[in-house]
Structure 1
């Protein structure tokens, strides 16, 4: 069962420090697990099968739908009172991210003749994540208003992605840039939540939220780098 916890806004400095340490440790472990799973999938799944995942618009929409449903389940599990269920949810989400990323990571690997482009995207993502985290903790500004932006922006983005897949629209640089802005907004909001609205025992759920935002940012930074090679 979940240990006794306190709302982070009313926790002691020691409790806050422990919560932040556990949360960011779990984000780091989720990223490491993603790298491991992605590497295994790239070495086990044939390239033809990976490219087949995005060969048909309805197949890709089906995969996006499964990812969305799986994400909802994973999110609920990570806030379950049982710690085992929380780790199950985080592990499930890491697996889902590895699967949905598989085609793009493979194409980026082929384009750059190795992992140079992927490492560049990862470096930019981590640099931005650290900078945005510092902004929230140093300024202590109220970013709660960004929730409305995220809700509206998320629905608009999902609609554009679905319509783009159905009608074959080329969602180019402008869309990727807009999604980077949305990911930045998400990181600011989730970090603000981390400082104010979680309980000290909810570090696994908080880590999933941050990990999801980081992966969204990584996805579209990689897309932008790939578009520059075309």
Structure 2
């Protein structure tokens, strides 16, 4: 995710300690709000049979590629709104749109996770959530305590995600399962993304980009949650 400096703003690294603390509070407040909105929208989707059935019908073969492609188009548009628009209201539109897209694409995985337990409980979801938040907190602490610039991860992540996308497409086209090791590798990649995004909070963002920063963290958090949940949902 690229950062664009606008007029009448300052880089976070140039702010006073009090201003930086305020900036960070805004980001993590928005991140918490995005997670809460995700939970609410996901719950709502599961209460609407038409939405639930549509999402579940798109999980096989080429339909999954169409769903994944649509997700990428929507989220890329949402990121542009949050980053590049000069209208603050559009920043929030981008964040909300991103959350809704995430909630929709998560429907099949969450359905599988619920069905994976004999009683159809939320136990696997709860375990995945706890593990995700614990790892996210630990990685964030590393950045804030060391203040190390992890911008060097950008090219590594770009290559990693490109390879991952290629493997996902190949798996659909040729009908092979990517397996546990792929999910484990994606957890590592998602962890790197969290380090990179959190580092940007300290070194790269401008003082008016708290919504875009929260969106970047949310995307990395949900990617980590996806693959941890995928691992726990395996038989």
Q: TM-score, normalised by structure 1?
A: 0.95
Tell me whether 1:44 sits opposite 2:51 in the alignment: no
Name the counterpart of 1:222. 229
CA contact (8 A) 1:4 1:201 kept: no
Q: CA RMSD in A?
A: 1.3
Segments of structure 1 that go 5 or more residues without pairing to the other structure are: none
Among 82, 94, 99, the residue aligned to 2:99: 94
Tell me whether 1:151 sits opposite 2:158 in the alignment: yes
Name the counterpart of 2:3. none
Tell me whether 1:165 sits opposite 2:172 in the alignment: yes
CA contact (8 A) 1:3 1:201 kept: no
Segments of structure 2 that go 5 or more residues without pairing to the other structure are: 1-5
Task: Sort the Cα spacing of 1:31 and 1:3 in 2 relative to 1 into closer, same or farther, 3 A.
Answer: farther
- Superposition pairs for residues 1-230 of structure 1, below 5 Å? 4-45=8-49, 48-54=53-59, 56-79=60-83, 80-112=85-117, 113-227=120-234, 230=235
CA contact (8 A) 1:57 1:165 kept: yes
- In 2: Cα distance, 1:89 partner to 1:22 partner: 16
CA contact (8 A) 2:55 2:105 kept: no
List per-residue Cα deviations over 1:25-67 (Å, max 9, x = no partner). Answer: 111100000000000001112554442121x311110010000
| Dislocated runs of 4+, deviation >6 Å | none
| Aligned positions, number | 226
Q: What is the SS of the residue equivalent to 2:176?
A: coil
- In 2: Cα distance, 1:213 partner to 1:164 partner: 23
List per-residue Cα deviations over 1:155-188 (Å, max 9, x = no partner). Answer: 0011111111111110111000000000000000
Q: TM-score, normalised by structure 2?
A: 0.93
